[in-house]
Amino acid sequence: MKESKKDLTVGTTVAGQPIYVTCYTIDSEKPGKTLYLQGGIHGGEITLHMIREIYNYIKQNISSGKVKIIPFANPMGWAQKAYTYTVGKFSDKTGEDFNRTYGKTTINSSTVAISNAILKECEEADFAIDLHTAHTSFPHTITFDENVLPMVKIANIEYNRLCYGSEEYKSTLGGQLTKMGIQNFTIECGSHDDINDEYTINVVKGVLNVVAELGIINSKPQQNKMRQVAFSKSVSFYAECGGIVDFKKQLGESFKKGDVLYTIMPANLQEEEHIVKADFDGIVFRFAKTHIYNSYDEVMRVFRLEDLKSI
Ligand SMILES: [Zn+2]
């Protein structure tokens, strides 16, 4: 077994310092498959604690092939802070989403330079996994190609979003790799800027199940959840007016038609609170980590129960 660390230089700062992303490799030095794993293309999306566990487990148990890992794919995104909050989703310079520039040919963008360096690292991969987090949410996979569904089942994470042939995701890492014929999925590992032990265990087991299936480590797939469900759409609720939102249903909570999901307190003290009720049965899927809303902001995203299918 050989461990290595390589800095991929993607540009230089005004002071002449290199801008680079670091790629780690664990090589069994025996023939076999290659897995590519990355996190942190968006600043503030904490996945390092999961990546470290995965890295250490593979290092102890690798039997064939190799694993390449980039834990912080985008150092520029992680440097974007507003007070205590790490933003890091969009380029300050171009406004581009850092995960919508893969496969683009613009040359005067360090975001594209990073995307291209990552795609090059992925060329030899048999399978790739891109780790993200989503506001306040629970772990779920995102898959772009139906041929990957068997591997999604092996990962055995409870919620799974199917986006086969999605236009929205064609310039993401997952979308581009799919175009290059490299099987992959994305995992939204939980909430932004959060460490949650249960979610960590789910995601670490999910990734290691894939690594085992590829024959890179010898271990039996571990059951994450008794059930796995897939969905291809969700329902967003947008603020009908500005105000302070009080959530009446929490993440992962089921609700019935007629239940109150949240209320909006308007600034006008003479105006009543707005009460928002569900008009179908569902489950709360995600919301932003804030109570402060302007009109048209997305307040909550939910599943309709009827849109969840067992897989
Ligand atoms: Zn992300």
Phi, psi of 197 (to 5 degrees): -60, -40
182 alpha carbon – ligand 1 mean position (Å) = 20
25 alpha carbon – ligand 1 mean position (Å) = 23
Q: What is the rounded CA–CA span in Å between residue 199 and residue 102?
A: 28
Mean pLDDT by 10 residues, the chain (311 residues): 96 91 98 98 97 97 98 95 92 90 82 93 97 95 96 96 91 96 98 95 96 92 85 95 97 97 97 97 94 97 96 91
pLDDT of res. 124:
95
SS (H, E, C) 275-308: EEECCCCEEEEEECCCCEECCCCEEEEEEEHHHC
139 alpha carbon – ligand 1 mean position (Å) = 13
272 alpha carbon – ligand 1 mean position (Å) = 37
- H/E stretch holding 124 reads none
Q: What is the rounded CA–CA span in Å between residue 100 and residue 24?
A: 24
131 alpha carbon – ligand 1 mean position (Å) = 7
pLDDT of res. 107:
67
CB proximity list for 108: less than 8 A, separation 6 or greater: none
pLDDT of res. 92:
87
pLDDT of res. 220:
74
DSSP codes, 203-259 = HHHHHHHHHHHTTSB--PPPP--S--EEES--EEEE-SS-EEEEESS-TT-EE-TT-
Question: With contact defined as beta carbons under 8 Å apart, do 62 and 155 qualify?
Answer: no
Q: What is the rounded CA–CA span in Å between residue 13 and residue 205?
A: 39
43 alpha carbon – ligand 1 mean position (Å) = 8
Q: What is the pTM of this model?
A: 0.95
DSSP codes, 72-88 = -S-HHHHT-EETTEE--
CB proximity list for 60: less than 8 A, separation 6 or greater: none
97 alpha carbon – ligand 1 mean position (Å) = 9
Counting every residue written for the chain, the total comes to 311
239 alpha carbon – ligand 1 mean position (Å) = 23
Q: What is the rounded CA–CA span in Å between residue 186 and residue 77?
A: 19
- Residue ranges and CATH numbers for the domains of the chain are 2-230 (3.40.630.10), 235-306 (2.40.50.100)
Q: What is the rounded CA–CA span in Å between residue 162 and residue 142?
A: 6
